[in-house]
Amino acid sequence: MSACIFCKIIKGEIPCFKLIETDKTIAFLDINPLSRGHALVIPKFHGEKLLDIPDEHLTDILPIVKKVAKAVGTDNYNILQNNGRLAHQEVDHVHFHMIPKPNQAEGLGVGWPQQKTDMDQLKVLFEDLKSRI
């Protein structure tokens, strides 16, 4: 039996406040919300990080994120998907957060440590990445 808490939610072995379900995806309320309406949208396919999830499962997710945001009726919100401990991932089953940002205090707090652009270095990086896609 899988120890994954989100797989248990998918199988109905532990409860959740389920908002939407399709054959590939479910959406439910986060139990420790950053703001009212904070919800999670997850693939039923178990994978730890984004690259582990087949495209056909990923394409089902974004329209559901959109439906949840519409239902919550929030003008300001963040869509967040963390990969790896350093990037604040706690549950090792891919999940997309829909986090309403009703005011400065509630919702997601984001650091945005922008670095100075060096166009030559950026071009080298660009050429390298382009050759890998």
By annotation, the residues acting in catalysis are: 95
Which is nearer to ligand AMP, 86 or 105 (by Cβ)? 86
Q: Which residue among 5, 72, 79, 108 contacts ligand AMP (CB under 6 A)? A: 5
Tell me the residue type at 55. Answer: D
How are strands ordered across the β-sheet holding 39-43?
A: 18-21, 25-29, 39-43, 96-100, 77-80
Can residue 122 be called a binding residue for ligand AMP (CB under 6 A)? no
Which is nearer to ligand AMP, 29 or 67 (by Cβ)? 29
Tokens of 109: 């707090």
DSSP code at position 131: H
Q: Which residues bind ligand AMP (CB under 6 A)?
A: 5, 16, 30-32, 40, 82, 88-91
